[in-house]
Copies of this chain bind each other. A is one copy, B any other.
């Protein structure tokens, strides 16, 4: 990484075009894979969606699986980047939880195709025998890292009661995922603010230190 391509001015017309084509193909792939799943999607359909010939796809990606993984990863990267940024900006743990839920709901609402791709991939990971070489697998763990760290600090400072921050972050992650799934599946177009607020409140209350002793174990 010390020496990038030594031609600083090398970002030629070519490169721009190439990058543009790649992005077009990834966007097309997200739409097609999201709409049909991995197996039902055809390379032909992706090419048509991107308005290029089928052969062209193979100039940019070595295989259908590679397109899929690139499409999945590129979306995931952006989602994670945005989520992490908003969580980091949050002034309080409560706001961090709210930011996490809100950002993800908004992102997926704006990119329902990608949500489908995302869900399909979770299914693939569960059912795939060949352990995914690409970073897909680990990527999932990274989703909640920033939130977990925020919660860990909150527990340490006494702002939250003494829970496992990782488990708590996962719980927030899961209810977010469930909310998004129902909204995407039902093609909900309404504002999700009320539902986001409810889940934020539910989690925050559940994690607050001021809660009552909670009685005996079940």
Contacts and interface: CB of A to CB of B under 8 A. Distances in A.
Given A126-B120, A127-B35, A203 B205 contact: no
Contacts of A122: 119, 123, 181
A94 B171 contact: no
A75 interface: no
Number of copies: 4
A134 interface: no
Contact of A218 (B40, B98, B163, B164): B98
Interface residues of A, number: 61
A208 B201 CA distance: 12
A39 B64 CA distance: 15
A158 interface: no
A203 B206 contact: yes
Interface stretch (A6-14, A17-25, A47-55, A209-217): A209-217
A163 B171 CA distance: 19
Contacts of A34: 127
12 contacts: A34-B127, A37-B127, A39-B40, A163-B198, A167-B195, A168-B202, A173-B178, A175-B175, A202-B207, A203-B206, A205-B212, A210-B211
Interface of A: 34-40, 90, 92, 94-95, 97-99, 115-116, 119-120, 122-127, 129, 163-164, 167-168, 170-171, 173-175, 177-179, 181-182, 184-185, 195, 197-208, 210-212, 214-215, 217-218
Given A37-B127, A201-B206, A206-B207, 11 more contacts: A35-B129, A37-B39, A90-B218, A95-B218, A119-B126, A126-B185, A164-B198, A170-B182, A171-B178, A177-B178, A204-B206
